[in-house]
């Protein structure tokens, strides 16, 4: 990657061109490694990310924070690939393969006995804490897969169906003597979710019905002990709710997804991506106006929507992020010995002076205003 990007570094590309090079040429180098190997250490991820940003900023200090650059365009970023999120989303392809009965690859045999202990596909429905217990018997590669999967899990809200699909096992909310519960021989009989203990009328199965249904031998104390361990407020929420087909929204999404990594990348990204709060505040302060969030989204998108010219987009991007080098900036960096405007020499050359306040800029705006009025009959007042 370093060599490839080094070769491209001399082509005087815009920031967009560089990001395109990263996405289309550099990233594919990593895809295979990140798909089939355990995740590298976080330090190595940082190293890869650094190579990318070094290329984007020509080996100089970053002008915009990395967590902003990885964001979506409407959030003020440029969608620079975030390698850690990328690696995690690639790993989830394996969960899809695990869940897909059509996939009969021979690697499945290698993990079959480990999965059996957790009811095969049910392992993907364990909660975060359960999964981190389960993953201990798997190798580093599968641990990376499970780690990624556990990070996108959502813990239940108040929807009854979400309570019903709570796993009984290794669940921090279902404790007996302050310990999480796990009964391997019950799992083998297909008992895994709260849903499995519910009958069609929405109440818990009686001991007899439970034993008949699953063909397990247990006693009143064990069975009722488990039911009493289920939190009271959950029981209230599922009162009279009949058993249903278990469906986990992430698993459903995964099954339907054409491209798993594309689907989950934004979810991983959302925990790290940021919007440029400081710059927004600065604009609002300088212009003495309040700008609401969705207005900002519009402003960030305007350059992308109105032109295909990457130089222009790039220019406007620099203005929006206030990284355009005006004289007042160059003066602060001691590159120039004056901070005054290059055109009128009278006022400090800030972005708003240079492009709006300066007499020379005003004349351009007035001319445009007149032309629009006279030639197109459009009345605009630039402000
Ligand atoms: Zn001026």
Judge whether residue 246 has pLDDT over 80: no
Q: What is the pLDDT of residue 223?
A: 93
Residue 69: name the closest of 53, 48, 50 by CA: 53
Cα 345 to ligand 1 centre (Å): 6
Judge whether residue 249 has pLDDT over 80: no
β-bridge mates for residue 198, sequence order: 204
Residue 278: name the closest of 330, 323, 316 by CA: 323
Q: What would the pLDDT profile of 164-190 be if each residue is shown by its tens digit?
A: 989 999 999 999 999 999 998 899 889
DSSP 325-342: --HHHHHHTTSSS--B-T
Q: What is the pLDDT of residue 148?
A: 95
CA-CA distance, 281 to 290, in Å (whole number)? 9
Q: How many CB atoms neighbour CB 317 within 10 A?
A: 23
CA-CA distance, 288 to 140, in Å (whole number)? 54
Q: What is the pLDDT of residue 109?
A: 87
DSSP 37-49: SPPPPHHHHHHHH
Q: What is the pLDDT of residue 160?
A: 87
- Residue 147: which residues within 8 A CB-CB, separation 6 or more? 39, 88, 132, 135
Q: How far is CA 360 from CA 178, 319, 322, 345, 368, in A?
A: 75, 18, 21, 11, 13
Mean pLDDT on 67-76: 96
Q: What is the pLDDT of residue 276?
A: 96
Cα 100 to ligand 1 centre (Å): 66
* pTM for the predicted model, two decimal places: 0.86
Q: Which helix (H) or strand (E) holds 4?
A: helix 2-8
Residues by chain with Cβ below 5 Å of ion ligand 1: 341, 343-344, 358
Cβ pair 180, 156 in contact under 8 A: no
Cα 347 to ligand 1 centre (Å): 6
The DSSP secondary-structure symbol of 60 reads S
Cα 320 to ligand 1 centre (Å): 20
Mean pLDDT on 213-237: 92
Q: Report the SS3 class of residue 180.
A: strand
Cα 356 to ligand 1 centre (Å): 9
Provide the pLDDT confidence category of residue 227 given band limits of 50, 70 and 90.
Answer: very high
Q: What is the pLDDT of residue 81?
A: 97
Residue in the structure block whose two tokens are 């009493």: 228
Q: What is the pLDDT of residue 131?
A: 92
Q: What is the pLDDT of residue 154?
A: 76
Q: If you compute the radius of gyration of the chain from its CA atoms, what whole number of angstroms results?
A: 29
Q: What would the pLDDT profile of 297-329 be if each residue is shown by its tens digit?
A: 999 999 999 999 999 999 999 999 999 989 999
CA-CA distance, 294 to 357, in Å (whole number)? 27
Mean pLDDT on 359-367: 95
Provide the pLDDT confidence category of residue 120 given band limits of 50, 70 and 90.
Answer: confident
Cα 60 to ligand 1 centre (Å): 29
CA-CA distance, 92 to 334, in Å (whole number)? 50
Cα 354 to ligand 1 centre (Å): 6
Cα 357 to ligand 1 centre (Å): 7
């Amino acid at each position: 990657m370093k060599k490839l990007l080094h070769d491209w570094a001399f082509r005087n590309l815009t920031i967009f061109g560089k990001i395109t090079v990263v996405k289309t040429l550099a990233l594919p180098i990593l895809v295979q490694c990140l798909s089939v190997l355990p995740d590298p250490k976080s330090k190595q991820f940082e190293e890869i990310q650094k190579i990318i940003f070094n290329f984007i900023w020509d080996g100089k200090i970053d002008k915009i924070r990395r967590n902003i650059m990885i964001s979506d365009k409407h959030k003020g970023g440029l969608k620079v690939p975030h390698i850690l999120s990328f690696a995690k989303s690639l790993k989830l392809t394996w969960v899809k393969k695990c869940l897909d009965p059509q996939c009969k690859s021979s690697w499945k045999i290698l993990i079959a006995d480990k999965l059996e202990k957790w009811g095969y596909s049910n392992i993907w429905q364990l909660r975060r804490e359960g999964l981190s217990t389960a993953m201990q018997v798997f190798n580093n590669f599968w641990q990376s897969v499970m780690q990624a999967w556990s990070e996108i899990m959502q813990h239940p809200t108040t929807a009854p169906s979400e309570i019903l699909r709570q796993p009984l096992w290794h669940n921090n909310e279902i404790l007996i003597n302050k310990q999480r519960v796990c009964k391997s021989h019950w799992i083998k009989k297909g008992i895994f979710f709260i849903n499995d203990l519910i009958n069609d009328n929405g109440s818990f199965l009686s001991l007899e019905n439970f034993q008949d249904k699953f063909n397990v031998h247990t006693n009143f104390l064990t069975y009722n002990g488990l039911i009493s361990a289920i939190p009271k407020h959950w029981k209230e929420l599922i009162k009279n709710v009949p058993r249903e087909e278990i469906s986990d929204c992430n698993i459903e999404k995964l099954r339907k997804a054409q491209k798993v990594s594309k689907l989950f990348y934004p979810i991983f990204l959302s925990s790290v991506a940021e919007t440029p709060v400081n710059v927004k505040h600065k604009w609002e302060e300088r212009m003495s106006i309040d700008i609401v969030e969705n207005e900002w989204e519009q402003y960030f998108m305007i350059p992308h929507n109105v032109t295909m010219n990457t130089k222009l987009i790039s220019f406007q991007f620099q203005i929006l992020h206030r990284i355009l080098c005006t004289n007042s900036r160059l003066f602060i960096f001691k590159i120039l010995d004056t901070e005054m405007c290059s055109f009128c020499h009278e006022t400090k050359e800030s972005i708003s002076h240079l492009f709006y306040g300066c007499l020379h800029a005003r004349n351009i705006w007035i001319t445009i205003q007149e032309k629009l009025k006279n030639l197109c009959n459009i009345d605009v007042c630039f402000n």
